[in-house]
Structure 1
Amino acid sequence: MDGNMLADFNFRIIMEYLPLFLHGLGATFLISTASIFLALVVGVIACACRISQIKYLKYPAIAYIELIRSTPLLVQIYFFYFGLPTLGVRIPEIQTGILALMLNSGAYIAEIIRAGISSVDEGHIEAGISSGLNYVQRMRFIILPQALGATIPPLLGQAIVLVKDSALLSLISVAELTRCGQVLTSERFMPTEAFLTVAFFYMCIYFVLKSLADWSQKKLIFREVY
């Protein structure tokens, strides 16, 4: 940004609309937090079904994961927002957005966890079997704790993707950050001020999550041995 562009940038408008942007930031945070938590639950369940030997669990999980990963998130959002009401199911905009983000991210989380499970030492699993642990107990006490520990960095990376993807919810009128930029643009026709402010807040969220991912990766890899 050169000096002339900076001189033309209207900081007064940004301060005037700051409460709106802070409200949008709070909405983005709440939507993202709820979606990430629910996506983790869905991902764990989908992964457990995906690696199960029971075909009635395995094949529906494979179908869900492949369907989600092969279609754009925007199509999924539109399906839940416009398609479900035609089937007699009506969900408010925010819940629709959380549902779409949860199911979308859950499919990717399932594959991340599956990769983590594949990295678990076979000897640990065999030890659990010899100790008399059944499948559910082995998953709970041996496999999942190790898999989740190994996949924290990629899971945080997926959380970053989810936060950025939440911008698509502006297309169904959810009052999150990007929607706030659209409001400012429509009311004052100042797209530069509007979307640079939106980008600034997304960058703040990104660097917080990235720092958390970097910190967790160092804690997992560089451990002192006493």
Structure 2
Amino acid sequence: MDFIGAYSWPNLRYLLQGFWITVQVAGLSIIFSFIIGTVLGTVRYTKTPFLSKTTAFLVDIIRNLPLLLIIFFIGMVLPQTGIRIPTFWAAVVGLSIFEGAMIAEIVRSGLVSVDKGQIEAARASGLSYMQTLRHVILPLALRRMSPPMVSQFISLIKDTSLAVIISLPELMRNVQILSGSSYSYVIPALVFASLLYFTLNYLLSIIAKRLEARQI
């Protein structure tokens, strides 16, 4: 193990460049998956049977597929059909679709957990179903589903490492390349990558714990 050589500034800069791409992929995927999950989860909760069942079917299919397969399909298979997507966006799209399906279930569960008495009171006050959903159900549900949603985002950050399969130069891909240049760099590079992942996920876990504390 050569920690001194592995942690020379050029090598650290190379790993940090990969980490920055990881952060960008994770950040965009969190935003898009939240939007997708909120829309799908809300549609599943609605009283329209066709839309609710169709959405449930799509969500169940996505949730039961390996994320690695989804990323590989978007990044490697689609280009063979003439649909070319940059590896960066292939990773973002794959993560957003998969995590969006996971978040959809969290959103649906959060909506279902809202006390029916509060819903009935809102309807009795003259609010329409959509107004009740927007102004009463969603705000109450968001408070309850924030902790599990943050936990899902933590999983998303760790899942960005799967983008190595499509050669996206994110953190783990750069660790792989750096380790290939010298076997003595393998453990030092992995240790440094672990610290970066831990720091990012720990910050999110603190947010999750504070959100949980606010629910008590």
The alignment status of 1:215 with 2:200, answered yes or no, reads no
User: 2:7 matched to which residue of 1?
Assistant: 14
1-side partners of 2:116 and 2:88: how far apart? 43
Task: Structure 2 unaligned segments of length 5 or more: list them.
Answer: none
Counterpart AA for 1:40: F
2:45, 2:111 within 8 Å by CA — same for their partners in 1? no
Q: CA RMSD in A?
A: 1.4
Counterpart check, 1:161 vs 2:161: no
Query: 1:50 matched to which residue of 2?
Result: 44
Matches of residues 114-153 of structure 1 in structure 2 within 5 Å?
A: 114-153=108-147
1:193 aligns with: 188
- Does residue 82 of structure 1 match 2:76? yes
Partner SS for 1:151: helix
For normalisation by structure 1, the TM-score amounts to: 0.89
Aligned to 2:93, the other structure's residue is in SS state: helix
Structure 2: how far apart are the matches of 1:83 and 1:125? 46
**CA displacement, residues 62-85 of structure 1 (integer Å, 9 cap, x when unaligned):** 122111111110011111112322
Paired amino acid for 2:206: S
User: Per the alignment, do residues 55 and 119 of structure 1 end up closer, same or farther by CA in structure 2, a change over 3 Å counting?
Assistant: closer
String of CA shifts for 1:156-197, please: whole Å, max 9, x gaps. Answer: 100100000000011111111111101101222321122121
More displaced 10-residue stretch of structure 1: 75-84 or 31-40: 75-84
Select between 45-54 and 82-91 the one with higher mean Cα deviation.
82-91
- Pair 1:115–1:200, CA change in 2 (3 A): same
Runs of 4+ with >4 A deviation = none
Q: 1:78 to 1:127 in 2, by over 3 A?
A: same
Find the aligned partners of 2:51 and 2:156 in 1 and give their Cα distance: 26
8 Å CA contact 2:76–2:166 kept in 1: the answer is no
Q: Which one-letter code corresponds to 2:90 in the other structure?
A: T
Give per-residue Cα distances to partners, 1:133-172, cap 9 Å, x unaligned: 2232222111111111111110110010000000001111
Residue type of the partner of 1:137?
Q
Answer yes or no: is the 8 Å Cα contact 2:42–2:107 preserved in 1. Answer: no
Q: What is the total number of aligned residue pairs between the two structures?
A: 214
* Counterpart Cα distance in 1 of 2:143 and 2:100: 17
Overall identity of the aligned pairs, in %: 32
Whole-Å separation in 1 of the counterparts to 2:81 and 2:44: 28
Match among 16, 19, 26 for residue 20 of structure 2: 26
State the distance in 2 between where 1:105 and 1:120 align.
23
Greater RCO, 1 or 2 (C-alpha within 8 Å, sep 6+)? 2
The answer to whether structure 1 residue 109 and structure 2 residue 103 are counterparts is yes
Q: Is the 8 A contact 2:110 2:144 kept in 1?
A: yes
